[in-house]
Structure 1
């Protein structure tokens, strides 16, 4: 039994956009105000991060065209750098980055959901987060059409709501009076080094808001006409998200001056909502943020188990009669009726709930997985240099301006990875430690097929 190609262009586009739009767009503009000294710098950072993301996304699109299977990143690393690289990518996603991403989004949903419902119960956000994970597990076990359909609906709702907020800010709201007395950020200086330092800080603030585009690649094995639909969905999706994010910043700045953003960065979106729609706007905003996060959570639970399944299917025979056999058997299990990786879905959700209660906060969860996650993404993009000459055939989709897009993405993400290690060493090293546990597991399996 294999996965079935049932997903069309609209579903893949919804997955790309739905995974990218979470809570970040509502709060990052205020955080960026602490760095920017002029409005043009705000637009510069959002456009720059959109361009960096597009470089990575289009590289991934060609990889998916070369290897149109579930878990494209896993297959790209295996084909490009050998089975050890592919195994470690899957190991990271199973035990570190995948559960970390699901748990991180879920805790945000729990926090906003409990606030919206007025729950004062101890650990209410954690219980609500676990409930959200469980709900999407049930939906996705029903079939890939159910998971994909849920993404189309939720993504349509949150994009519509976000655009309504933009329209309200531009056409209904009056600008907020500028009363803030706060320090203006220091000048970026005139030298190249000063500008690079300034740009690095701004990019590190904004780039996380663009995350999520890689996750869509995990469903490539279930996409109809992947050589056309997947590159189109990735490219169009990232461009649309960049346009929406720029529109949001235009709308925010039309209502709240940069100095006011700097004074109360977390309250910017609420001020815009109230100015556009009155007192009820703040409540409406909370629900919109909750829906946005909820959709991102659903996208992760739809996509990540496909990667688990892809890797486990290859290593399941090697794990037979070893202590790891039950683990690989569970990840490689497909439901006979729905042809979905039920075992991988339940495993991903179970580990994510464990991470949720262990770390307990969004900041710790993100720090825990960001270093292994970004390192493996850099390698995944780098695999294009080995795979294009070997696997490319006439008629396949080709990355424009090659080799510059992958080189740009790799450079920026390497600098981002170094910064994470320097500023958040403890939780970063927990993620690195769990990653290294995969080395002896791989060696045990490799000895069974004489792979060094």
Structure 2
């Protein structure tokens, strides 16, 4: 009985949490900033909207893939489980650690960003940014240490508030009648090479803003009915995010022309200043704070689940499988929070984010390839949900991942070298862990 408490996660989550985690970990400050940069690159109303729709289609294809994989193998930790099953233990070990490194950076970033926005609201706290960030980290660690239900309630609450804020802002934009909607005309042909390059650059930014759409899969093991709940929550959450993003861009372009958006570093603030007057900046800052709190809550939960899965498979310390009475993988939560604590104290770790984005592309590519391989090698595995458009959609996603990898490798040589070194060093570590696990199993027998 004690072993069951120690090594098993609690089945306590449902559709509501699944939708909330996807919405919460996707919608953030990106949608408040990115449209301005994209308007500067594309300078065409319909191209801008098309770019967000294409990004949405990418998400829907990805959701279909992950709905199949996570209901087929409903385990904590997400992608690396499917990659391990398809390509073996080393591939699982490597991509699992890639995924962990990428996700473990997020809590520190979001604690810092939240504290920066709070300082905008309360300037008297200007010298206390690091203290506020550490306070947020400790508060969220204690919340999640109390149990998975607490984290679930917080996720649903912050996601609902966030969506209401965004919907309210969108409605206010469309109710504003000071400027007539008049899309800018563009004389250049849509087929011109510079426009095509600009579209793909913009699409990369759009996909960064959509990131977080696969979050629900990390919690498949804790879902009360993963076969039904995960596909429902993934598709519902994805559609909510896509609608908000596309309509938000239409709302921005309703208030200001493309040329005005193109010069904006924080487009939502500029639009809010037009719609709400001098209170616009405060309103957007409040929306930004709640947006980031939802993401912070999600990313306090995700790294702990990945590390729990890695620990259970012998890819990390055995203590990492410890689960407390509330259903939280407590050891991996504390380890992940400690990493975030150190990163906040260091204060500057932007270079790690380039590395993390690189790693994410590798993990996604392997996950899409795993779907194809498992369909061929294990056709009889139970598949409560099947990916739509297979195999064409899977092939498109693999090719897209390869294209992103090549693009990153070309534009970020330092991260490419770092990943190459990490990969080379990972194999001896994997062999050492394998030998240790075999020895422990032999001693136990």
TM value normalised by structure 2? 0.89
1:218 aligns with 2:228: no
Report deviation, 1:120.
5.7
Match of 1:331 among 315, 320, 324: 320
Contact (CA 8 Å) 2:83, 2:91: kept in 1 or not? yes
Once residues 401 and 341 of structure 2 are traced to their aligned partners in structure 1, the CA distance between those partners, rounded to angstroms, is 28
- Residues 427, 129 of structure 1: alpha-carbon distance in 2 compared, 3 angstrom cutoff: farther
Once residues 227 and 254 of structure 1 are traced to their aligned partners in structure 2, the CA distance between those partners, rounded to angstroms, is 41
User: Secondary structure at the residue paired with 2:13?
Assistant: coil
1:32 aligned residue: 38
Contact (CA 8 Å) 2:273, 2:280: kept in 1 or not? yes
Match of 2:104 among 99, 113, 120: 99
2:204 aligned residue: 204
Matched ranges for 1:30-429 at <5 A: 30-94=36-100, 96-119=101-124, 121-122=126-127, 124-172=128-176, 174-175=178-179, 187=188, 190=191, 196-263=196-263, 265-315=264-314, 328-335=317-324, 337-358=325-346, 360=348, 363-389=350-376, 390=378, 392-393=380-381, 396-427=384-415, 429=417
- Residues 450, 146 of structure 1: alpha-carbon distance in 2 compared, 3 angstrom cutoff: closer
- Residues 432, 111 of structure 1: alpha-carbon distance in 2 compared, 3 angstrom cutoff: farther
Report deviation, 1:85.
0.9
- Give CA deviations for 1:67-89 in whole Å, capped at 9, x if unaligned: 01112312101101000011112
- Give CA deviations for 1:242-294 in whole Å, capped at 9, x if unaligned: 1110110111001111000112x224211222232232221011011011011
Once residues 161 and 288 of structure 1 are traced to their aligned partners in structure 2, the CA distance between those partners, rounded to angstroms, is 6
- Residues 351, 93 of structure 1: alpha-carbon distance in 2 compared, 3 angstrom cutoff: farther
Once residues 347 and 251 of structure 1 are traced to their aligned partners in structure 2, the CA distance between those partners, rounded to angstroms, is 42
- What is the RMSD of the two structures over their aligned residues, measured on CA atoms? 2.6
Contact (CA 8 Å) 1:34, 1:185: kept in 2 or not? no
Contact (CA 8 Å) 2:107, 2:300: kept in 1 or not? yes
More divergent stretch after superposition (371-380 vs 253-262):
371-380
Report deviation, 1:189.
6.3
Contact (CA 8 Å) 1:11, 1:151: kept in 2 or not? yes
User: Secondary structure at the residue paired with 2:9?
Assistant: coil
Contact (CA 8 Å) 2:190, 2:196: kept in 1 or not? no
Report deviation, 1:115.
2.0
- Residues 32, 93 of structure 1: alpha-carbon distance in 2 compared, 3 angstrom cutoff: same
- Residues 172, 54 of structure 1: alpha-carbon distance in 2 compared, 3 angstrom cutoff: same
More divergent stretch after superposition (364-373 vs 221-230):
364-373
Report deviation, 1:132.
2.3
Once residues 93 and 394 of structure 1 are traced to their aligned partners in structure 2, the CA distance between those partners, rounded to angstroms, is 26
Contact (CA 8 Å) 1:372, 1:432: kept in 2 or not? no
- Give CA deviations for 1:301-360 in whole Å, capped at 9, x if unaligned: 1222111101101207xxxxxxxxxx613422211x223100111111111232344462
User: Secondary structure at the residue paired with 2:214?
Assistant: helix
- Give CA deviations for 1:372-405 in whole Å, capped at 9, x if unaligned: 1211121012100122341545672111111122
User: Secondary structure at the residue paired with 1:383?
Assistant: helix
Once residues 241 and 111 of structure 2 are traced to their aligned partners in structure 1, the CA distance between those partners, rounded to angstroms, is 22
- Residues 346, 290 of structure 1: alpha-carbon distance in 2 compared, 3 angstrom cutoff: same
Once residues 401 and 342 of structure 2 are traced to their aligned partners in structure 1, the CA distance between those partners, rounded to angstroms, is 28
User: Secondary structure at the residue paired with 2:40?
Assistant: coil
Q: How many residues align?
A: 431
Contact (CA 8 Å) 1:367, 1:428: kept in 2 or not? no
More divergent stretch after superposition (137-146 vs 392-401):
392-401
Once residues 236 and 405 of structure 1 are traced to their aligned partners in structure 2, the CA distance between those partners, rounded to angstroms, is 19
User: Secondary structure at the residue paired with 1:71?
Assistant: coil
User: Secondary structure at the residue paired with 1:34?
Assistant: helix
Give the unaligned 5+ runs of structure 2.
440-445
Once residues 26 and 86 of structure 1 are traced to their aligned partners in structure 2, the CA distance between those partners, rounded to angstroms, is 36
